[in-house]
């Protein structure tokens, strides 16, 4: 989800660009998906069939099955009747579809609700689904959501991150832990400490404040378990990466008022990528104390560190991007490296005032350190000759967040009100590096078709950190969901923010200050087609911090003011016992920042994203489960002064994405589940002027899970092969950036209760 090197600071975090305007219709889409290889053709057909069957089956179930209404607050009511205040964590449904259905999600300033009761596109995956997919990052976890496009993978590249509906998730403001701001700038967040990962698609101004319109990824921490939990896992990843994981939880003390949850991870070895070695460590501890039946205090602390060698920062091409199948895989020098470590600590108080009202206060601190020593390859000509530049520098981020919120329900005559009031304050401090390593160290030249070992330049280690930026946000927010009838409700919300962004020079003196006091509204109309399905129309506004010119731009380090975005969405969603569906038509208008033909970073005009986002899942018969979806995306640069950019497609936005996954609970071996998944990603432009592009590509994954008991204890074996056909492909991210995709990888694990 880069820094001040070929891309700098916040500027590289938020550049934009453009491409051709028109998405393909269904017939031309099928033609576009016709590959030269049989495997890719089968994959494309399978994906389209999966998506179509999912939605069709969903419709059939909707017409044929009368679902039993499930009270959304049943669990909360039960807890209230017992006089116990509980933390606002996720409720996961029981049954054979545990790894699919997630009932409640965090919604920022809207509080915690069932996903089907929100007028926005929200999806989530729980820890069981994460383990079954053998996901290592959020990019893996949301892989089969068609709205998600992989921008970078973390084996040969710095980290794994993605875009939602063509808009990159902001790694400075778009990542949350338990709803509070968390920094993940070019850093992977391990999944082991989290019970659930949630994805809000689109704008989040009212719910979370400043941020890009790419969406919000919220990581929900694992909390103490009521029953003792003792679980140990051992894992393997080709070619020789081994991992050990421990998950412990339970309660103790008088009346079991004290609880704990401990997760420890160790992983190290050589991956399937040439010259690539990974070392990863994670430890997290979450505790709570039930002070009274109505008051619960909780605290958590987590630390993780990830180190890789043989790492690329990125690639650029002066001419057409070559066929990935012809390019060597050992492009990174073996001495290149990348390292991140994160520390976070949080605490909260949750108070149940009565059956209708509750309040909470929470605080979180987060710190991220980054150490770069990876390479950027500038490919100079069609012959594949490139200049290798290594960037060495240290950067750090420090975040703090305070939030207080009150939620309640009441009636006024025939109207029912579900209200939320809150205040929020957060600060973000960035430390940059003024050492010579940040300007790049020339390693020499080589060729992408036959790379050679270049000499290691033992210079650039004179790190000179300085405070380069401080952002603060003070906010007040309120919302009211008004139930007009049993089916019709209206949501209205406002968020007032005082935003301050101060930039400092290397001497520590104030260089530039931006201030804004925006009011971010959201309005929505919802119609319950039944208790487990909702049709909605919503409108959201949002602001994001402006970009800045990178070190490769003529106007480096010029910084720009905030950008405004608007989102319109019409949708329908359902969450049934045996099927679920999400359908949305959306349009986003976003301020545009890009590098023009004169190599100046500018903010000019508007990026327009519009399209169809459709996904769903269904259980067919007793043993088959099918999921999939389609994204059709039209993007365009409008009102842009630069003629080379005006009217072009936005870079790094596929025209379509098709996904499908099928799971089969075999009757011939009890406890054995087989699965296959496919993802087709359409062509993408690489730069704002659309002079370069990367072709469409298809990846296929296979996996298996076997659950049994040994000596009376649960044991689960899992195995997977990602990218079965060993497809070589490119991804693209920042303006002009190209990154290599991951090779075929085998993974296996065994998880044992004790």
Model confidence over 557-603: pLDDT tens digits? Answer: 787 878 889 999 999 999 999 999 999 999 999 998 888 878 888 99
CA dist., res. 735 & res. 594, Å (int): 7
Residue closest to 656 by CA, chosen among 677, 630, 637: 630
Look at 52 and 532; give whichever has higher pLDDT. Answer: 532
Please indicate, yes or no, if residue 576 is contained in any of the structural domains. Answer: yes
E strand spans, 639-740: 656-665, 672-681, 684-685, 693-694, 697-710, 713-722, 730-732, 738-740
Please indicate, yes or no, if residue 3 is contained in any of the structural domains. Answer: no
Can you give the three-state secondary structure of 175-219, one letter per residue? Answer: EEECCEECCCCCCCCCCCCEEEEEEECCCCHHHHCCCCCCCEEEE
Q: What is the pLDDT of residue 168?
A: 93
Please indicate, yes or no, if residue 323 is contained in any of the structural domains. Answer: yes
Per residue in 191-239, pLDDT tens? 999 999 999 998 887 788 888 888 999 999 999 999 999 999 999 999 9
Please indicate, yes or no, if residue 2 is contained in any of the structural domains. Answer: no
Q: What is the dihedral of CA 685, 271, 389, 320, to 10 degrees?
A: -30
What tokens does 627 get? Answer: 């999921």
- C-alpha distances in Å from residue 655, one per residue of 6, 32, 146, 728: 27, 11, 12, 20
Tokens 């150490």 correspond to 371
What tokens does 297 get? Answer: 């205090």
Residue 239 DSSP label: E
Is the pLDDT at 416 greater than 60, yes or no?
Answer: yes
What tokens does 561 get? Answer: 């003011």
Is the pLDDT at 651 greater than 90, yes or no?
Answer: yes
Per the omega criterion (within 30 degrees of 0), is the bond before 236 cis?
Answer: no
The alpha carbon of 601 is separated from its chain's Cα centroid by a whole number of angstroms, namely: 26
Is the pLDDT at 96 greater than 80, yes or no?
Answer: no
Is the pLDDT at 12 greater than 90, yes or no?
Answer: no
Is the pLDDT at 97 greater than 60, yes or no?
Answer: no
What tokens does 64 get? Answer: 């044929």
Sign of the alpha-carbon dihedral angle for 420, 80, 176, 474: positive
Residue closest to 534 by CA, chosen among 480, 584, 588, 478: 584
Return the minimum-mean-pLDDT range out of 102-116, 399-413, 438-452, 485-499: 102-116
Is the pLDDT at 388 greater than 70, yes or no?
Answer: yes
Q: What φ, ψ does residue 535 adopt, rounded to 5°? A: -105, 145
Per residue in 76-86, pLDDT tens? 343 434 333 43
413, 23 Cβ separation under 8 angstroms: no
The three-class DSSP label of residue 540 is strand
Return the minimum-mean-pLDDT range out of 78-82, 487-491, 704-708: 78-82
Q: What is the pLDDT of residue 99?
A: 54
Q: What is the pLDDT of residue 308?
A: 96
Rounded to two decimals, the pTM is 0.86
Overall domain count for the chain:
1
CA dist., res. 656 & res. 496, Å (int): 36
Q: What is the dihedral of CA 111, 117, 121, 126, to 10 degrees?
A: 70
Is the pLDDT at 45 greater than 60, yes or no?
Answer: no
Q: What φ, ψ does residue 44 adopt, rounded to 5°? A: -65, -45
Q: Which helix (H) or strand (E) holds 479?
A: strand 465-483
Please indicate, yes or no, if residue 680 is contained in any of the structural domains. Answer: yes
Q: Which residues, in sequence order, are CB contacts of 182 under 8 Å at separation 6+? A: 175, 176, 189, 219, 344, 364, 366, 399
170, 164 Cβ separation under 8 angstroms: no
State the greatest distance between any 2 C-alpha atoms of the chain, in Å, as a whole number: 78
- Please state the rounded mean pLDDT for residues 254-280: 96
Is the pLDDT at 25 greater than 60, yes or no?
Answer: no
- Please state the rounded mean pLDDT for residues 466-482: 94
587, 606 Cβ separation under 8 angstroms: no
Sign of the alpha-carbon dihedral angle for 145, 150, 154, 158: negative
Per-residue burial over 195-232, b = 16 or more CB atoms within 10 Å of its CB, e = otherwise? bbbbbbbbbbbbbbbbbbbbbbbbbbbbbbeeeebebe
Q: What is the pLDDT of residue 69?
A: 37
Residue closest to 299 by CA, chosen among 350, 248, 337, 335: 350
Is the pLDDT at 48 greater than 70, yes or no?
Answer: no
pLDDT grade, residue 510 (50/70/90)? confident
Tokens 């965090």 correspond to 106
Per residue in 597-627, pLDDT tens? 788 889 989 999 999 999 999 999 889 999 9
Mean pLDDT of the chain: 86
- Please state the rounded mean pLDDT for residues 436-458: 94
The three-class DSSP label of residue 547 is coil
- Please state the rounded mean pLDDT for residues 101-117: 77
CA dist., res. 68 & res. 95, Å (int): 15
Q: Which residues, in sequence order, are CB contacts of 135 under 8 Å at separation 6+? A: 125, 141, 143, 191
Is the pLDDT at 381 greater than 90, yes or no?
Answer: yes
Is the pLDDT at 430 greater than 50, yes or no?
Answer: yes
The three-class DSSP label of residue 155 is coil
Please indicate, yes or no, if residue 63 is contained in any of the structural domains. Answer: yes
Is the pLDDT at 732 greater than 90, yes or no?
Answer: yes
Residue 25 DSSP label: P
Starting at the earlier edge strand, list the strands of the sheet with 180-181.
Answer: 122-126, 194-200, 216-221, 175-177, 180-181
- How many of the other CB atoms lie within 10 Å of CB of 471? 21
CA dist., res. 547 & res. 555, Å (int): 12
Per residue in 127-158, pLDDT tens? 999 999 999 999 999 999 999 999 999 888 99
Is the pLDDT at 676 greater than 90, yes or no?
Answer: yes
Please indicate, yes or no, if residue 363 is contained in any of the structural domains. Answer: yes
Q: Which residues, in sequence order, are CB contacts of 100 under 8 Å at separation 6+? A: 129, 580, 617, 625, 627
Residue 352 DSSP label: E
Burial class (CB in 10 A: 0-12, 13-18, 19+), 134: buried
Q: What is the CATH number of the domain that holds 346?
A: 2.40.170.20
Per residue in 532-559, pLDDT tens? 999 999 999 988 888 778 777 888 778 7
pLDDT grade, residue 706 (50/70/90)? very high
The alpha carbon of 742 is separated from its chain's Cα centroid by a whole number of angstroms, namely: 18
Residue closest to 33 by CA, chosen among 701, 630, 736: 630
- C-alpha distances in Å from residue 253, one per residue of 248, 288, 373: 17, 12, 49
Please indicate, yes or no, if residue 528 is contained in any of the structural domains. Answer: yes
602, 640 Cβ separation under 8 angstroms: no
Is the pLDDT at 330 greater than 80, yes or no?
Answer: yes
Which residue range is the domain that position 138 belongs to?
Answer: 9-753
């Amino acid at each position: 989800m880069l820094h001040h090197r070929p891309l700098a600071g916040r500027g590289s975090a938020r550049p934009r660009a453009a491409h051709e305007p028109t998405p393909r219709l269904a017939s031309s889409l099928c033609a576009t998906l016709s590959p030269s290889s049989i495997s890719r053709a089968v994959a494309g057909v399978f994906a389209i069939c999966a998506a179509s069957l999912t939605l069709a089956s969903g419709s059939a179930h909707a017409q044929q099955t009368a679902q039993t209404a499930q009270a959304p607050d049943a669990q909360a009511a039960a807890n209230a009747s017992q006089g116990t205040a509980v933390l606002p964590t996720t409720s996961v449904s029981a049954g054979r579809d545990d790894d699919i259905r997630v009932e409640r999600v965090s919604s920022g300033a809207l509080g915690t609700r069932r996903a089907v009761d929100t007028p926005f596109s929200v999806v989530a995956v729980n820890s069981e689904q994460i383990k079954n997919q053998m996901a290592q990052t959020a990019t893996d976890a949301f892989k089969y959501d068609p709205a998600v496009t992989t921008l970078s993978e973390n084996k040969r590249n710095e980290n794994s991150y993605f875009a939602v509906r063509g808009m990159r998730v902001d790694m400075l403001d778009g990542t949350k832990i338990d709803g509070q701001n968390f920094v993940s700038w070019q850093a992977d967040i391990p999944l082991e400490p989290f019970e659930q990962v949630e994805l809000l698609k689109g704008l989040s101004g009212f719910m979370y404040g400043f941020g890009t319109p790419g969406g919000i990824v919220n990581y929900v921490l694992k909390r103490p378990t009521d029953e003792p939990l003792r679980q140990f896992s051992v894992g393997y990843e080709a070619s020789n990466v081994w991992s050990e994981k421990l998950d412990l939880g339970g309660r103790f003390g008088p009346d079991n008022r004290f609880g704990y949850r401990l997760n420890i991870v160790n992983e190290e070895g050589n991956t399937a990528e040439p010259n690539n070695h990974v070392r990863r460590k994670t430890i997290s501890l979450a505790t709570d104390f039930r002070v009274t039946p109505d008051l619960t205090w909780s605290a958590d602390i987590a630390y993780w560190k990830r180190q890789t060698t043989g790492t690329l920062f990125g690639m650029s091409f002066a001419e057409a991007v070559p066929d990935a199948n012809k390019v060597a895989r050992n492009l990174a020098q073996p001495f290149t490296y990348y390292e991140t470590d994160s520390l976070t600590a949080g605490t909260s108080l949750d108070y149940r005032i009565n059956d209708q009202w509750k309040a909470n206060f929470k605080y979180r601190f987060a710190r991220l350190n980054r150490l770069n020593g990876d390479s950027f390859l500038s490919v100079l000509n069609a012959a594949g000759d490139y200049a290798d530049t290594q960037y060495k520098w240290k950067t750090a981020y420090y975040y703090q967040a305070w939030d207080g919120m009150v939620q309640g329900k009441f009636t006024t005559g025939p109207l029912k009100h579900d209200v939320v009031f809150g205040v929020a304050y957060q600060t973000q401090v960035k430390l940059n590096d003024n050492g010579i390593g940040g300007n790049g160290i020339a390693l020499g030249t080589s060729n992408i078709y036959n790379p050679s070992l270049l000499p290691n330049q033992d210079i650039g280690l004179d790190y000179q950190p300085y405070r380069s930026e401080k952002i603060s946000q003070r906010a007040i927010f309120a919302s009211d969901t008004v139930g007009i009838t049993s089916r019709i409700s209206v949501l209205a919300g406002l968020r007032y923010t005082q935003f301050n962004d101060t930039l400092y020079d290397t001497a520590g003196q104030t260089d530039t200050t931006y201030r804004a006091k925006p009011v971010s509204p959201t309005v929505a109309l919802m119609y319950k087609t039944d208790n487990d399905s909702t049709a909605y129309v919503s409108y959201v506004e949002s602001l994001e911090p402006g970009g800045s010119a990178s070190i490769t731009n003529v106007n480096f380090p010029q910084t720009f003011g905030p950008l405004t975005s608007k989102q319109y969405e019409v949708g329908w969603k359902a969450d049934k016992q045996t099927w679920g569906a999400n359908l949305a038509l959306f349009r986003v208008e976003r301020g545009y920042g890009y590098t023009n033909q004169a190599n100046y970073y500018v903010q000019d005009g508007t990026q327009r994203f519009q399209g169809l986002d459709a996904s769903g899942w269904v259980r067919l018969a007793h043993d088959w489960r099918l999921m999939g979806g389609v994204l059709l995306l039209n993007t365009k640069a409008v009102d842009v002064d630069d003629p080379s950019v005006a009217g072009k497609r936005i870079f790094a936005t596929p025209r379509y994405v098709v996904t499908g996954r099928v799971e089969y609970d075999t009757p011939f071996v009890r406890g054995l589940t087989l699965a296959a998944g496919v993802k087709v990603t359409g062509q993408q432009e690489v730069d704002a002027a659309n002079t370069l592009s990367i072709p469409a590509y298809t990846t296929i994954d296979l996996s298996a899970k076997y659950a049994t008991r040994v000596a009376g204890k649960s044991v689960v074996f899992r195995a997977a092969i990602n990218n079965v056909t060993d497809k070589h492909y490119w991804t693209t991210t920042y303006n002009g950036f190209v990154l290599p995709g991951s090779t075929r990888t085998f993974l296996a694990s065994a998880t044992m209760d004790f």
